[in-house]
Chain A
């Protein structure tokens, strides 16, 4: 996907509540028609940033532009932005239909046009038979769809979604995830999703901004953030990872040789621009990028260890292996071959060899 033209521009935005800096100097551009996720733990500032886009909070400093317009003096009710609240915030005294129609009364529409739009929205979220029901007469999943239809009814330029799936159970969540994506594709509205769930962000979003303590740590597509994290925080937040301190011994071409005390040896990893010999770094390894075998493999990076713990899930297994230095490493192996009846590929206390490709080792400099 090519880089879309910037539609939302967040420039140097900070927000302070008293002495607490909820959002710190955030710069982001979000393209038209993109699904953009703000991902982070609780208190990372993602919701505050979303509320600033909606207009419920004013930035302490910095500017927000939506479709080229500065939003500084635009009240929430005048913004071309609608929000789907985490609690859905459906008006309990109005029927499903009236909820969806609520925003439309601010538009110059004839009664017929309004009814048509409401009907269209009901069909979009498959709630047509429930039009006359009151919110307390429908299920949580249906309420979520009412909230979505209500927010989309006025055809906003941007839809903000605050933890859209958090209140749903697991099965419904997966289904709704794909429904949200298909609705986004059909309507072409730019989605900004706040979530604390990395899987949700990775499946839903075209691009993800990982936030921590009010700052954006990294922005990029899911695969980039997963495979090329730029900091220990991002590496640790997205997926499982084992990290070890090391020191750059030698740089040859795009390979850096790194001494890793925990593994008692020197290992090759793909270098980063700006790396210098002698620099202290952190080497991070994803569990699924490590191969495990009971015989010494013919590979560039090999380290011997002992299985301390293993979890067998059927299709795959998770091993915890003690490294020569005494530290543990997680290894995730797919059980591609049927195990013999006598035992597993590697068992408790077995001596094993772990290997990984230089390109799979992530060097982190922070």
Chain B
């Protein structure tokens, strides 16, 4: 055909429908917001009914949310919500649980060591690497600001 590669890519882009950004953003906001509301409610219950102190609530809420994310992943529910929620299920800590548990389930068949354990962090690994690195960089900046 007569197209150059660039011309063809431009033409193919025009032919390909874009993601429905507005719809995706609204769903992400609503479902992501709902997950955060659940987290807040659990925190309030821990504080007001179980009498946990502030520090313990900060530890207990993520633990509970990770558990719920993992449970819903195992029950084949989380990915169905994520189909509509997109970033709404990806960004909260439940998304982190999903990334780890889905890999663990998928690669269990290749064994507990080289399958499940080794592949568990294929998706979550980069989040850890860059998360930890950026916190180190921010820590250094914070330290410098304190000393100056």
Chain B binds chain A: no
Identify the B interface with A (CB < 8 A).
Answer: none
